[in-house]
Chain A
Amino acid sequence: MHLVGSSCHGGVWSDSHAQPIQDDLWDLFSEIISKGDVDAAFIERDSRFEDARVDLTRDLSTMHRLVNRE
């Protein structure tokens, strides 16, 4: 699976690859891992690298917590 931050401008959503991952996305993630047998999930980040380390550390921590809850 892939997870990447999204954003909304002018009512149109896009995958900005520059944001932390939003709660709606984590809800979908939890839904899938509760039902399926996924091998791996990757968080992607392609810009705003100056903030990426903090965001990715937090997002990875969230991912581990949700996976371990299953």
Chain B
Amino acid sequence: MQFLFSTAITVASGRARAWIRKLQVQARRPWDFLFRGLTYLLVLVVLCTVVGIAWVMLSNSLPTIQTFGWSFLTNEAFDPVHNTFGVRPALFGTLETALFALIVALPLGVGTAIFLVDFCPRALRAPLGFIVDLLAAIPSIVLGLWGAVVMVPWLQNTGQPWLQKYLGFLPFFQGEIHGYSILAGGLLLIVMILPILTAISREVMLVVPKAQREGLLALGATRWEVIRYAVLPFARAGIAGGAILALGRALGETIAVTLVIGNQAASPSLHLFDTGYTLSSVIANQFGEATPGLFQSAVLEAGLILLIITLIVNIFARLLISRLGRERVGGLVV
């Protein structure tokens, strides 16, 4: 650790010296020098912040990393009382809710986008598209409020019993009914990521050149055949990128989910009616009690894991999307 640190400092100071020389050459007037210097300084602050976040997460998780190692990921209990910590249910909850939301929202979103681009009456196109874009910006607390006060009781009294009665043969809909559940979390996430998915899908479909559509129309294709053979293949990469971005968003969502998911671990299973918790809800619920030492470190390690997961997902998504240039989604920079 020490060695790495001193090497880093040597390299950094060498670089800094080279930079200052470069500055002096590039900016001949004193104001320019100052301006450039200020700009570089502030950018450096931003860079340090980004790196600092990762660094802080990592270094503050070391106690639990050293104590539990990989078993942190597999331990079932997040138990401050007995000083054993594990995030297996949280990990499971995070992944289960996000994947559930993505699986349902993807066809909904792409279908909505297809409608908006191809089948929607011209006059409605702009206003409806606008509404969808706006909805991407709704604060999650608003959704959380509605979810906790309206959706959860409804699920408990109407929705879940109905599901259990008619579709109870599926493992998803078995188990005790509380209202607060992984299902509730997943449903809220669907609402959260649907606008992003629709907006991105729409953007990439609009880019398809008219000539492609006309070419197939001239061969006698139906409107659906034009979409299927000319539009969707073009848009595939963009839609995939958008889906993964949406996944990243779903994985990190805290407030809305924590209000409806129950925050009590059941052992991981396919039962969507079980309560559960996610990595982010663990952090939100436990930080207040977290005493320095193993407890705090555990909370931070949960954050570290969440950070790593979302980073991987986001980098992957951006690689996919970057094939089409940077995305500007309906005025709201994504």
A and B: interacting chains: no
Interface residue ranges, B against A (CB under 8 Å):
none
Report which A residues bind B (CB closer than 8 A): none
